[in-house]
Structure 1
């Protein structure tokens, strides 16, 4: 019996997924750089007047081995229509930032916020409350967290462009470029847009942990009791028992 030498039919080429249309983020005209006390107060009023805001921070990158970050150097907070950028220089508007970030009535939503919250507290003493990390909330039982790019593709069918070159620029600079401003503003507002879409589709907020109360100031230790006189073996703190 002869072998069948008929050539096999080649498998059809794998289907290449279509390129997603680009995500169009916030316009430069809708970004506010908060520089003066009046601008900080206006931002505070606008951000506390809504139920939820987009939230993110940026820090100057570290490149040397063992070097610690001194961030955050920029805090981004966005409503549905406007993004506010707070540069953390020598005199940041701490009262306004604390009022916004520590409020439990205004939800702060963002992606991968664990380090942002830790740095915020370490540098500025602000304990952010009402924080929803969408990377965790949106994973829906899956093992891996969902990032902003994946969320935009999933919910909007669009491609979020995130430039690594811009993300590693100097965020501590006193003068930010337009590309830095748009990158930072988009990071905050895209989180809010994803959150709105997710909630409208039936998403459920995770239970919120109550904010930790501030630690009371450490009290000075009381002075030590004088050492007992020679021959007296009774400890100074012991109660002496009278004989019956």
Structure 2
């Protein structure tokens, strides 16, 4: 968990030294029709050895925001994850961050003509012959809590790191990334000012 300015600076330095990092976000789930998500509440990054988790509240500390901007708005390192479309849109809506260099492995691994995206669990089974444990009970917990429990922390770290491991394995098989296209972000609301 990244909290202090020193931890944030160390995370920034370690992550910016990488060519690619695992990336994901978590948001408190919404259960009522019409309810709007206030997420993301947690942003996760990982290299091969460590994961860094940033809690995002209504008043995110300036040192945390600066690190997130430094990592997310640069084209490198590549930000590798699964199912990132909503994550990118929520980061823009909540923090005005225009994420660059995002590689959604769900889309990259989609076979030609296939409609459905390949998720992390399927990719882990396909490439490693292992079963990725992704508890629905944990994924639908309250990610906006001021203190996350150990199971939430492990789940979030795994989500970021598994994407990077799948990517490294896939590249190691001789595959190449297609051209990275930026995600379409919603247009900013009209202010009526010309």
TM-score in terms of structure 2 length = 0.91
* Residue 91 in structure 1 maps to residue 70 in structure 2: no
Q: RMSD of aligned C-alpha atoms?
A: 1.7
In the TM superposition, 1:1-244 aligns within 5 A as: 33-89=1-57, 90-92=59-61, 93-141=64-112, 142-209=114-181, 220-221=193-194
Larger Rg over CA atoms: 1
Segments of 4+ moved more than 4 angstroms: none
Q: Deviations over 1:99-120 (max 9, x none)?
A: 0001112100100000000000
Number of aligned residue pairs: 185
Where structure 2 has 5 or more consecutive residues not aligned to the other structure, the ranges are: none
Q: C-alpha separation between the residues in 1 aligned to 2:38 and 2:13?
A: 28
Where structure 1 has 5 or more consecutive residues not aligned to the other structure, the ranges are: 1-32, 222-244
Contact 2:102–2:182 (CA under 8 A) maintained in structure 1: no
Deviation of 1:65 (Å): 1.6
Q: C-alpha separation between the residues in 1 aligned to 2:127 and 2:107?
A: 16
Deviation of 1:140 (Å): 2.5
Question: Which gives a bigger RCO, structure 1 or 2 (Cα 8 Å, sep 6+)?
Answer: 2
2:177 counterpart SS class: coil
Deviation of 1:204 (Å): 1.4
TM-score in terms of structure 1 length = 0.73
